[in-house]
Amino acid sequence: MNVAKMLLFLFIYLFAFYTWLFISWENEWTRFLGANLLSLAGSAVSFAVLFKTYRVLSQKYRCFWLLLSISALFYFAGYSVCFYYQTILSVAMPYPGWADYMWLTAYFFALAAFLYAIILRGISVSVKPLFFNLVLFMVVVITLSLQYIVEPMFIEAGYTTTSTFVSIAYPLLDLCVLVAIMICYYLASSRYERILMVFCGTGFVVQLATDLIYVYWGGDSFADMGTFLDPLWQINLLLQGTAGLYAQKHLKEVKIDLSFYKTVNYSVLPYIGTMFLLTLIVYENYADMDILLKGCIIALLLIILRQFVIMKKNKQLMDEYKHLAYHDPLTGLGNRAKFKEDIGEICGHSSADNKAALLLIDLDRFKGINDTLGHQAGDCLLKELSEKLEGEITEKGTVYRIGGDEFLVLLPKIGSTSDALVIAEGILANSQQPLSVQGNEFVVTPSIGISIYPEHGQDTETLFRNADAAMYRAKEKGKNNYQVYNSALNDLLHERMQIEIGLRRAVEENGFTLYYQPKVDLYSKKIVGMEALIRWKHPEWGLVPPFKFISIAEETGQIISIGEWVLREACKQTKRWQVEGLPLIGVSVNVSVQQLEQNNFIQTVTDILKETNLSARFLELEITESVIQDLKRSTEILQDLREMGVRTSIDDFGTGYSSLSVIKTLPINVIKIDKSFIDDLDNPANQDLLKAIIWIGKSLGLQVIVEGVEEEQQMNMLLEYNCQFAQGYLFGKPMPREEFGKLLSGQQRDI
């Protein structure tokens, strides 16, 4: 049974109920029997649907539906008592009696259900003021009702204390439940939750009206079943059941978001009601009021007027707070909270014919600019970038900044994936235009990951995770490009997570080893040095090469501890070979930019040399050209290392940021020319370029080493260019320490 069928059942049910009452009005026993059976049927159907909703749901709302089902069960119990008295015993029901107590208990369980729904959102700042305003308004309404309606009516009717209490309890409990439903409605974070509250609220409005009629005409007049009020009481029960069916149909959409905030309107009503009460007091008792009482009432009125002013100021502050809660203070773009709200709404309404796209943008090498020029310049750059992004997107979507140098673009309506690709290509093309910050021009390129709704996920978390996986793939592809998510990226993302977790364990359990590759003098063919290269001994994957895990170690910050281990182990092994009488050669160790940025880096190198008792002249630290981004800081560190006696070299020379004017001023000893320069020596242009680099390096007084030599033809050409030192597979691959030790020992015997 779906919602439409339930509403149709409600209509047919009411029609059948009133038809039965009409045709059997003259026969009291038949009328009572039909009214009791139909009432039992209505409460039973409601209980069955609500209890099934409790069984089906797996969210926190389960308890809410359980309490509502118990409420329906007590209605059923009350109608069972009526059936027993009127149909089996054929006597009039006592008023008040057990049926009334069962029904009143049902009210309390319904109230508990909606109070529980409010508690689920207890973190929200709007709960307490809303609850206070509604309770205050309820007090005003109850006071006026008791003064001008209920009290005169009961005095005239001569009610007993018990019957008065029971009669008043019905509409008062209705009103309490309605207040709770109103709070739930205003705190609802989705359209689906509000619809649930509309169903329940409509039912209790009908029940309140019916109970007021019941009280006004006298409860004992309607104590027996079989009156025209009986079908009206069933409306509330069946509308609750309809709400349960709606919840079952929209299991995925009904969610609880405790961070949701909503401004509540109509908060002025309680104060208007209070002023109205004070006005009535003055009007009816003015002649008997003394000066103190009059002054007190005037003071209260002034306090209420002052409260109006405070409420206006508070509204302004809350509007500002809401803006800050949903926007990035630097760029003015929406933040992560705003993104979650917007995409949640889109996921609830998009379809296969109306797709949505998510573009996750991460700026390439922004950290280097930020560290070099300072955070103020970085902030200016981010502002300019955000303006460029908004100019590119315009009305096609929304741009968000979710932290640091990460941006999101949400395209709510795209016809196909190609529409998102056009936007991504536009962002990439626009990024090639330089940005001017503090007199410097920068080109900041983005890496973009794209996921499509509903193909790549039907909820916020999945879409974001898949866009993140695609963005990392774009980084791996060389940056400054976009990648669309596909299922194969899940395997890559899983592998990445496994590597990150495994690295932590490897650091703790010493799961690394070093391999050594010789550096040779091309003239003598002797080993004159060695490079220490890390390998990861994984228990399942075997020996893992560095290109698989170094980038992840750098992103997670684990490169600091790993790099320190490599440095210590390389120095320790070099000293061990020296003690064994093997040739005195130095060891070179790769050092990441993150290690150099550590304030205690120089002290760490000093401590390791002292600990291993290795002379500083036998240690060479290889750094990449990226250190040139922060030239001043890098120069200071390299100068300190030179004063210690530690040699330094620029690794992969010619592939990064280096310029001849900068290399000339840096206190380095060696440049290592990247393998790419000798891969195609058949090309005359490459030959001239390599020859020029070697000549310039030697002219600057630097030792020049060419990496990646694999063929004798390459070696002979290097000799022709007067290059003395080289490294590559032609002379030896990276090898374990035992194997390299034998190689050194063999060279010693040759000597």
DSSP-assigned states of every residue in 448-506: EEEEEETTT-SSHHHHHHHHHHHHHHHHHTTSSSEEE--THHHHHHHHHHHHHHHHHHH
Q: Which of 348, 366, 435, 350 is nearest to 407 (CA)?
A: 366
- Residue 304 pLDDT: 74
**pLDDT of res. 264:** 42
Quote the pLDDT of residue 204.
Answer: 83
CATH code matching the domain that covers 3-255, chosen among 1.20.1070, 1.10.246, 2.20.25, 3.40.50: 1.20.1070
Tokens of 307: 């409260």
Kindly provide the b/e burial profile for residues 634-651, where b requires at least 16 CB atoms within 10 angstroms of the residue's own CB. bbebbeebeeeebbbbbb
φ and ψ of 681, to 5 deg: -80, -5
What is 336-486's CATH superfamily?
Reverse transcriptase/Diguanylate cyclase domain (3.30.70.270)
**Dist CA 322 CA 167 (whole Å):** 45
Residue 246 pLDDT more than 70? yes
* Per-residue tokens: 31: 């009328």
> How much is the pLDDT for 138?
63
What's residue 518's pLDDT? 95
Domain borders along the chain are 3-255, 280-326, 336-486, 498-750
DSSP secondary structure letter of residue 285: H
Q: Residue 408 has which token pair?
A: 């999101």
* Residue whose tokens read 């943008």: 361
Paired with 161 in beta bridges are none
**What is the overall mean pLDDT for the chain?**
80
**Total-model pTM:** 0.50
pLDDT tens column, 424-436? 999 988 888 887 7
| Distance in angstroms (rounded) separating the CA atoms of residues 400 and 331 | 9
DSSP per residue over 142-188, as a string?
A: HHHHIIIIIHHHHHHHT--HHHHHHHHHHHHHHHHHHHHHHHHHHH-
Where does 286-365 have alpha helices with state H? 291-326, 336-349
Fold for the domain defined by 498-750: TIM Barrel (3.20.20)
The reported pLDDT for the residue numbered 611 is 94
Angstrom CA distances, 468 to 5, 321, 451, stand at: 44, 30, 9
Question: Which of the four pLDDT bands, split at 50, 70 and 90, describes residue 604?
Answer: very high
675-688 pLDDT, tens digit per residue, is 888 887 777 877 88
Confidence of residue 579 (pLDDT cuts 50, 70, 90): very high
Q: What is the sign, positive or negative, of the torsion defined by CA atoms of 417, 422, 425, 430? A: negative
Closest alpha carbon to 405 in 449, 451, 442, 370: 370
Residues 20, 28: contact at Cβ < 8 Å?
A: no
| Inter-residue contact 325 to 393 (CB < 8 Å) | no
Could you read off the pLDDT of 164-196 as tens digits, one per residue?
A: 666 677 777 777 788 788 777 777 767 778 888
State pLDDT tens for residues 339-360.
Answer: 888 887 777 555 556 788 999 9
Would you say 678 and 714 are in contact if contact means Cβ atoms under 8 Å apart? Answer: yes
Amino acid at 87: T
CA atoms of 529 and 584, how far apart (whole Å): 9
**Tens-digit pLDDT profile for residues 358-378:** 999 998 877 767 666 677 778
* Sheet with 482-484, edge to edge strand ranges: 398-403, 406-414, 355-363, 446-453, 482-484
Looking at the chain, the whole-number percentage of residues with pLDDT higher than 70 is 82
What is the reported pLDDT for 503? 87
